[in-house]
Amino acid sequence: MKSAFVALFLWAVAGPLAAQAPHFDRSMLEIQTAEGKLITLDVEWAITPEQREHGLMFREDLGDDQGMIFDFGTVRDVMMWMKNTPLSLDMVFIDRDGRVIRVASRTTPFSEAIVGSGAPVRYVLEIRGGRAAALGIGEGAEVTLTPPAGASD
């Protein structure tokens, strides 16, 4: 009974919030691993403060070759969290030149714990939890970022 009440509450509260998700433009992103493997992902771009705040919250599905790239527009220390995010994610922290500097693997769904970049970065790529290891994405990988048409640099 208690879990049914919680589910009903989450549906009543989260449903309308999820419906208000901002629009995200998409583009392809390429990653060359340190071993030379080339990976192509279909990513949504979170560029505006509203888009970055919403991110992948409330999403229940994310394909093997899909993700979201957060562009902070400047290089800085970045702090992320998993609030309202039911999926475990890998967070790939990327510097201004497209080099992966850190991967936070299999973050905890719904957690409000801070996941920090550990160094100044411009971008964070979020992909389904465990995919970075499965694809060989780690420190030193090179990311080619192709923002969607109309996005500023």
pTM, rounded to two decimals: 0.85
Check residues 15 and 133 and name the one with the higher pLDDT.
Answer: 133
User: What is the CATH number that goes with domain 23-145?
Assistant: 2.60.120.1140
Q: What band does 4 get if pLDDT is binned at 50, 70 and 90?
A: very low
The tens digit of pLDDT for each residue in 104-115 reads: 999 999 999 999
Closest CA to 59 of 147, 134, 148, 126: 126
The tens digit of pLDDT for each residue in 131-144 reads: 999 999 999 999 99
Q: State yes or no: pLDDT of 34 exceeds 90.
A: yes
Please, what sign has the CA dihedral across residues 70, 76, 81, 87? Answer: positive
Rounded (10°) CA dihedral 69, 72, 73, 76: -130
Residues 115 and 133: their CA atoms lie apart, in Å, by: 18
Q: Where are the beta strands (DSSP E) in 16-130?
A: 26-32, 38-46, 66-76, 79-80, 89-94, 100-104, 115-116, 121-128
